[in-house]
Structure 1
Amino acid sequence: MDTDKTIQRAGATGNIKATREDWLKLALETLISDGVERVRVLTLGQKLDVSRSSFYWYFKSRQDLLDQLLDYWRQTNTRFIVEHARRPSATVIRGVMSIFECWVDERLFDPQLDFAIRAWARRSPAIRRALDEADKERVEAIRDMFVRHGYDAEDAFVRARVLYFMQIGYYSLELNEPMSSRLAQVALYLRSFTGQEPAAEDVEEFSRYVEKTLSGNR
């Protein structure tokens, strides 16, 4: 199948192209806003103003589309946490700061997508297994970061769980705390997660990263 092909749809402005990315983007938005049960070929096609048959230029079936949404989630939310945890870091403080970047930049970790997958997992044992595997992979990557900085395996594992699941709980509770308030406490968070005192330049560097990221995302 040629995924570079596009489907023409008639509209007020003439022929408009519906791409594979259009289907995926709308399916992703629908998954997040309405849940997996609303990710239906006919419904998506109506919103894109294309025929249902055009879907099959890009996807074998609805299940194929759902599989690709799940893969997208793995390749963003899980991959970036693992990559950031594996980054070389001079100190454990810098290692934790690297993971914090995922909580700041939703291009690295999209909490709405993560909770759409968690809602999906309550309806599907297969998705539940995929979610459990993802949580395990994320925690183990963070644990390994602590181990590299001299923490024993059990201590590293508990610290990793606290760091990771605290953040997931933060999103779950929808604590819309201003970033300025969170930044004011970043040194305390770093000390809590590592047991070490962050240097002033560490906090300043992270604050600059946050400012740059948020301004770039506007």
Structure 2
Amino acid sequence: MASTRGSAGKRISHRVGVDDWIRAGYAILAEEGIKALKIDRLCERLGVTKGSFYWHFDGMPSYRSALIAAWADLRDEDRLDFDDMGDLSPRERLAAMMSSLMSPRHWTLERAMREWARSDPAVEDSVRESDRRVVAAVRQAFLDYGFDTEEADLRANATFAAGIGFLHLSGPTPSPREAARGDRFLELMLAR
């Protein structure tokens, strides 16, 4: 259990669950990188003891596996959101996908997970599988816009690669200028 001070100054205890550990790990990854992801740092961030960590996880390998799985689930939720965009025009769908992936919720975490993937094959596999699903959704939007299969594939891959590039060239959070560049880039990709 962790405790905090309520408005009257009394200690209020609350249970720290798996989701709390996952959020704390993502925050550390995003802010400080994979090397900072240690049990002590996690416990300090959550204000709990190591016993709480070991209540939920066998050790760092199982914790890291949980982070990878939760990230894949998060990306799958985004993919389901993409599937629910069927009522939107292809251009609106592409813009919504870009906005979703450039949201503050994903911005730093996406970068951190891609960096981690460079040194961990399990993370690399998860990132690669997630990327395949995103590219497929982007490809479908280009097909629906009227491009043939070959052109839709080329544009989907170029759009995805540019999006990753925008991600790595950006600052710590997306700026309005980067959003405007994304819109301009989308116009270029839709030009015939």
TM-score over 0.5 for the pair: yes
**CA RMSD, Structure 1 to Structure 2 (Å):** 3.0
Identify the match of residue 16 of structure 1 among 13, 17, 23. Answer: 13
Percent sequence identity over aligned pairs:
21
Instruction: Give the distance between the partners of 2:178 and 2:51, measured in 1 at CA.
Output: 51
TM-score normalised according to structure 2 size:
0.79
Cα offset, 1:185, TM superposition:
7.9
The question of whether the paired residues in 2 share the 8 Å contact of 1:73 and 1:114 is answered with no
Identify the match of residue 129 of structure 1 among 115, 125, 131. Answer: 125
> What's 2:95 paired with?
97
Question: CA offsets, 1:102-157, max 9 Å, x none?
Answer: 145334xx121111111111111222222222222211121122223432211111
Unaligned stretches of 5+ residues in structure 2: none
Unaligned stretches of 5+ residues in structure 1: 1-6, 197-218
- Counterparts in 2 of 1:98 and 1:114: CA distance versus 1, 3 Å: same
- Counterparts in 2 of 1:185 and 1:31: CA distance versus 1, 3 Å: closer
- Counterparts in 2 of 1:183 and 1:50: CA distance versus 1, 3 Å: closer
TM-score normalised according to structure 1 size:
0.71
> What's 2:70 paired with?
72
The question of whether the paired residues in 1 share the 8 Å contact of 2:139 and 2:155 is answered with yes
Number of aligned positions between the proteins: 187
1:36 aligns with 2:4: no
Instruction: Give the distance between the partners of 1:89 and 1:189, measured in 2 at CA.
Output: 23
Instruction: Give the distance between the partners of 2:88 and 2:127, measured in 1 at CA.
Output: 31
| Bigger relative contact order, structure 1 or 2 (CA pairs below 8 A, ≥6 apart) | 2
Question: CA offsets, 1:50-76, max 9 Å, x none?
Answer: 221122332333222212222222222
Question: CA offsets, 1:81-118, max 9 Å, x none?
Answer: 563266214532223223233145334xx121111111
Amino acid at match of 1:14: R
